[in-house]
């Protein structure tokens, strides 16, 4: 399995080691193992690792269809996974809708301030005024006891069945670009129509995430399937990298989150 590392970035090696460790446990104990919630990049790495094993499989589930963050169940091929195996609880966040508003950022910030790691809860769902939260079911008691306010807003968590989840699938609006290189500052500059200097400043200031992790190096090399989040500008995805133009520029297909 050593050859697997060459396909990924050095900062991803620790995660590869973690998945290899879980997979070896499944192989040795012949029982399924569950991960925390994974982002799409981590799921891709997990699938790649599991692909090297003949008798081990992986399934992903995030509580709702098309969830961005999902748990992985790594299991021996004899096993038939069910939804219950993923141990996910859904909470409706009750709050005085008429008098105040909640935001994704406020909810996320409050959860993190309770000492909860990002990987133990999944998507934060919203259909306008209603907000819901998906979390590892082992955390349900802690969460209901600890989460009484989001910002200054009094809230109450009400556990509900996964079938009651509200969800709007992610839609990417595609556009073609030509870029001089795959450097992060170059991609950001072209995607958001800002100067290269401005893009570089955003990167150095820690305002840009690549695949859900902050990157502060402007010459970081982007790749196909990377998702780039820029604070105040939104999120883009490198859907495809193509050939080169006559002026030796790289053709890329980029998606803007609608």
Work out the pLDDT band at 3, boundaries 50, 70, 90: confident
CA trace torsion 34, 36, 38, 42 (10° rounding): -70
pLDDT higher than 70, residue 169: no
CA distance 116 to 138: 12
Task: Answer left, alpha or beta for residue 119, where phi above 0 means left and psi between -120 and 50 means alpha.
Answer: alpha
CA trace torsion 77, 83, 85, 88 (10° rounding): 140
pLDDT higher than 80, residue 210: yes
CA distance 65 to 225: 20
- DSSP assignment letter at 5: G
pTM: 0.78
Residue 202 structure tokens: 């955003």
Residue whose C-alpha is closest to residue 35's, from 20, 55, 48: 20
Alpha-helical segments (H) within 31-91 = 40-50
Residue whose C-alpha is closest to residue 120's, from 133, 107, 105: 133
pLDDT for 65 equals 85
pLDDT higher than 80, residue 168: no
Q: How high does pLDDT run on average in the chain?
A: 91
Q: Looking at mean pLDDT, say which of 84-93, 102-111, 160-169 comes out highest.
A: 84-93
CA distance 61 to 181: 36
- Of 29-33, 82-86, 254-258, give the lowest mean pLDDT range: 254-258
Residue with tokens 């104990």: 29
Work out the pLDDT band at 155, boundaries 50, 70, 90: very high
């Amino acid at each position: 399995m050593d050859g697997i590392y060459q396909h990924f970035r050095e900062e991803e090696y620790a995660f590869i080691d973690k998945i290899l460790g879980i997979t070896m446990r499944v192989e040795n104990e012949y029982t399924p193992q569950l991960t925390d919630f994974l982002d799409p990049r981590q799921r891709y790495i997990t699938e790649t690792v599991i692909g090297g094993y003949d008798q081990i499989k992986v399934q992903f589930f995030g509580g709702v269809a098309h969830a961005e963050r999902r748990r992985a169940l790594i299991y021996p091929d004899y096993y038939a996974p069910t939804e219950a195996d993923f141990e996910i609880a859904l909470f409706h966040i009750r709050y005085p809708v008429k008098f105040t508003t909640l935001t994704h950022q406020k909810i996320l910030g409050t959860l993190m301030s309770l000492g909860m790691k990002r990987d133990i809860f999944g998507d934060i769902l919203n259909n306008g005024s209603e907000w819901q939260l998906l979390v590892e079911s082992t955390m349900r008691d802690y969460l209901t006891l600890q989460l009484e306010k989001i910002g200054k807003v009094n809230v109450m968590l009400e556990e509900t069945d996964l079938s009651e989840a509200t969800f709007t699938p992610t839609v990417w609006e595609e556009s073609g670009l030509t870029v001089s290189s795959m450097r992060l500052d170059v991609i950001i500059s072209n995607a958001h129509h800002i100067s290269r200097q401005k893009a570089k400043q955003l990167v150095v200031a820690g305002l840009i995430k690549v695949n859900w992790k902050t990157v502060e190096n402007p010459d970081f090399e982007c790749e196909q399937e990377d998702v780039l989040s820029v604070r105040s500008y939104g999120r883009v995805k490198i859907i495809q990298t193509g050939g080169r133009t006559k002026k030796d520029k790289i053709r890329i297909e980029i998606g803007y989150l609608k």
